[in-house]
Each structure stands twice: as structure tokens, then as C-alpha cells.
């Protein structure tokens, strides 16, 4: 079964609004990574957060990690039409580095 | 190049034919991964190479699938006797051990 599961499955917002999506996982992890995918092609890496970190920022992106709840959230602030994409979380866990477990993704649509 | 490079971008093949997909990882990256994404699905781990260690082949779906990594750099994923269910985007990624995993644009395989 998939380790990471995103919520919601789909999100539709207007430009300027914030978008929040969540990722839950089942077992202890080493790292959690968020990726963006446009039109079903390559994955663009957004942020890596390690299990001993709680929050990271990159531009308009903010990622939090709560290991006690086995969950992470990705916040996109002041969204733009170009943020329209699918967003995936991916986890790796002890003794299985390299075997990322991906969720099914959250499809985000930002309308002008 | 600056990123992970994959070829071909698109491949249409007849059922029963063999195909080879190529991946050039980021220079200096010791780890290389292959994933598969079927239409509307999440990513599925296939195989992982790390340095000179034996590859982790646990994700290969059948013995029709194989992969090599020559000289610790370029990798080739080979699918023999292709079937229609092999149609998917095949994504290659690379990283330094324990760090961010960067993906290529993928090779879209269609088996007709």
C-alpha cells in the first residue's frame, strides 16, 4: 500500500488565494519530499524535510512535518495560475533509502 | 547537463517488441532510480542503483524488465516482449546518498 496519502485529492482556488494540502504516512520515516508534476511529465522537486525538522520554507512554499501525527502539510501562498499542477509527497524510511513511497497526489487548479 | 536527462521522450512500440530507455543522471550523483507512473496513478518504484553496490531490483514487476548502469553513470532500462500494460511514463532520478532526489522529464512508452 502507498506510504504517503495526500488530502484533498483535488483543490480548485483563485489566484492570490492560499492552497494547503496534507500528506499522511504510516511508518517512521527518514525524510519527506514534496514534488510538483505538470501534465503528467517530470517531477520538480520542491522541498525535502528531514524527520528531525518541523518546518521549512522556500519562496511561497511552506512545509511542516508532525512526526507524532505522521503527517505533513504543504502551503502555497499567494497562488498563481502557474501553480496549477499535481503535488505529491514522497517518503523514505529506515533501511529503504531510494525506495520512495509516493501518494496519489493532489491536483491543484488555480484560476485567474 | 544540469539535470537528469532521459531518452527517448516518447516511444510507441508494437506489442512483443523490446524497448530500451536511457537515463543520464546528474554528474557526480552516486544513486540512480527508475520509477514508473501509469496513467492517473502514483509513482511505482522499479529499481535503485547506489555506487558499486548490487542494485535493489525489488520493484521490477516481472523478469521482462531489467536495468543496467554502466560505469556508475548512464543507465538503461530494458523491457522485453512489451505488453500493453507496460504503457506508462518511465521516470529516472538521481541523487547523492541521503539527499534530494531529482527526476528527469520521463520517457512516455505506449505499447500498441
Provide mean pLDDT across the span A39-65: 93
Q: Is the pLDDT of residue A1 over 60?
A: no
Grade residue B91 by pLDDT with cuts at 50, 70 and 90: very high
Look up residue A68 and give its three cell numbers: 507524532
**B54 shares contact with chain A (CB less than 8 Å):** no
pLDDT reading at A99 higher than 90: no
Q: What's the mean pLDDT in B70-89? A: 94
> For chain B, what's the residue count?
112
Q: Check whether B1 has a pLDDT greater than 60.
A: no
Say if residue A45's pLDDT is above 80.
yes
Mean pLDDT of chain A: 91
How far apart CA A52 and CA A66 sit, in angstroms, is: 10
Q: Can you tell me the distance from the alpha carbon of B29 to that of B108, in angstroms, rounded to the nearest whole number?
A: 24
Cell of A98: 531510494
Contacting residues of B for A45, CB less than 8 Å apart: 100-103
A49 to chain B, any CB pair closer than 8 A? The answer is no
CB atoms A42 and B103 under 8 Å: yes
Separation between Cα atoms, residue A37 and residue B100, nearest integer Å: 16
Distances (CA, A) of A105 to A61, A86, B37, B53, B71: 17, 6, 12, 32, 35
More confident: A13 or A1: A13
B104 to chain A, any CB pair closer than 8 A? The answer is yes
Amino acid at each position: 500500500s502507498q506510504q504517503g496519502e495526500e488530502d484533498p485529492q483535488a483543490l480548485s482556488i483563485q489566484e492570490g488565494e492560499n492552497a494547503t494540502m496534507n500528506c499522511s504516512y504510516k511508518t517512521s520515516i527518514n525524510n519527506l519530499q514534496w514534488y510538483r508534476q505538470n501534465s503528467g511529465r517530470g517531477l520538480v522537486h520542491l522541498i525535502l524535510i528531514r524527520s528531525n525538522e518541523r518546518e521549512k520554507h522556500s519562496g511561497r512554499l511552506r512545509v511542516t512535518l508532525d512526526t507524532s501525527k505522521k503527517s505533513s502539510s504543504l502551503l502555497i501562498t499567494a497562488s498563481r495560475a502557474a501553480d496549477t499542477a499535481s503535488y505529491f509527497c514522497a517518503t523514505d524510511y529506515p533501511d529503504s533509502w531510494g525506495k520512495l513511497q509516493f501518494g496519489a497526489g493532489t491536483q491543484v487548479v488555480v484560476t485567474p | 547537463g544540469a539535470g537528469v536527462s532521459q531518452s527517448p521522450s516518447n516511444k510507441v512500440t508494437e506489442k512483443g517488441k523490446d524497448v530500451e530507455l536511457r537515463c543520464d543522471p546528474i554528474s557526480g550523483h552516486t544513486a540512480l532510480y527508475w520509477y514508473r507512473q501509469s496513467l492517473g496513478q502514483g509513482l511505482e518504484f522499479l529499481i535503485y542503483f547506489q555506487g558499486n553496490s548490487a542494485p535493489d531490483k525489488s520493484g521490477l514487476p516481472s523478469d521482462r524488465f531489467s536495468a543496467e548502469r554502466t560505469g556508475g553513470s548512464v543507465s538503461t532500462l530494458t523491457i522485453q516482449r512489451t505488453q500493453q500494460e507496460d504503457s506508462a511514463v518511465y521516470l529516472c532520478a538521481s541523487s547523492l546518498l541521503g539527499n534530494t532526489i531529482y527526476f528527469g522529464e520521463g520517457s512516455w512508452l505506449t505499447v500498441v
